Amino acid sequence: MNKICVLHSGGMDSTCVILWYLSRHYDIQTIYIDYGQATAPTEWNYCKLVAGLLHLPSPVKITGRLNHLIKSHSLISGKKKKYSEEYLINNFLDEFFPNRNLYLLTLASIYCFQNNINEIALGIIDGGEFSYTDTNAGFLRKANSLFSHTLNIEVNAPLIKWDKQHVVQYLKSNNMPVENTYSCNIQNIKPCGKCAGCIERNLSLK
């Protein structure tokens, strides 16, 4: 049985990735990375919830906090900005976190190297309403080339060509209620309803 590490945030996309690999009979280890995000406690709880519901091994939590580098960023500070849906759709780069996915992959790859795991998967989607420079196909190709070169680890993103509606339908078809995931980027415990994560989630559920 192939073994893979899935970067899990507790959100819809990464939960969908877990289900995708389960359907292909992979041995899955989920990894949650606390980089200092305000929503970390709630995200971690959802990661544990999903792992329990799917009878997976307990998720691995890796702490690599960036508070001292970028403490003013909304994802770190948890300070909610009062955006309208229209504004945020046109200005979603306000929540861009530089090289976040590269950082998450780096920490996960160290764990994989130590545990003889040669595949990592993450839930990035290219072409959605909120697509950053580290969530597209170009980034995936380069990340895969980099980690294959340095650690012989393959980086996969099976949802890269999906859209949010496809994600929602896949969750439903696999009996995973959307309520078992958490997508807010800013506020812990209760979604703010105003960040890119909340608005994209709400749009996908319409």
Taking residue 136's Cβ as centre, other Cβ atoms within 10 Å add up to: 17
> What pLDDT shows up at residue 62?
97
pLDDT in tens, 32-51: 999 988 899 999 999 999 99
**Per-residue model confidence (pLDDT) at position 148:** 96
Residues 205/167/41/115 CA torsion (nearest 10 deg)? 180
The residues near 199 (Cβ < 8 Å, ≥ 6 apart) are 83, 85, 88, 89, 193
Residue in this structure with the two tokens 């709880």, named with its chain if needed: 45
**Full-model pTM:** 0.88
Supply the pLDDT for residue 206: 80
For the chain, what are the domain ranges? Answer: 3-204
pLDDT tier, 80 (very low <50, low <70, confident <90, very high otherwise): low
pLDDT in tens, 122-180: 999 987 555 778 999 999 999 999 999 999 999 999 999 999 899 999 999 999 999 99
Q: What is the pLDDT of residues 83-137, one digit of tens each?
A: 555 555 555 556 677 889 999 999 999 999 999 999 999 999 987 555 778 999 9
Tell me, what's the pLDDT at 99? Answer: 87
What's the confidence (pLDDT) of residue 205? Answer: 87
pLDDT of residue 71: 55
Tokens of 83: 């955006």
Q: Are strands 119-121 and 3-7 parallel, antiparallel or unpaired?
A: parallel
The stretch 3-25 carries a mean pLDDT of 97
Class of 3-204 per CATH? alpha beta
Residue range 48-70, pLDDT digits in tens: 999 999 999 999 999 987 766 56
| pLDDT given at position 64 | 84
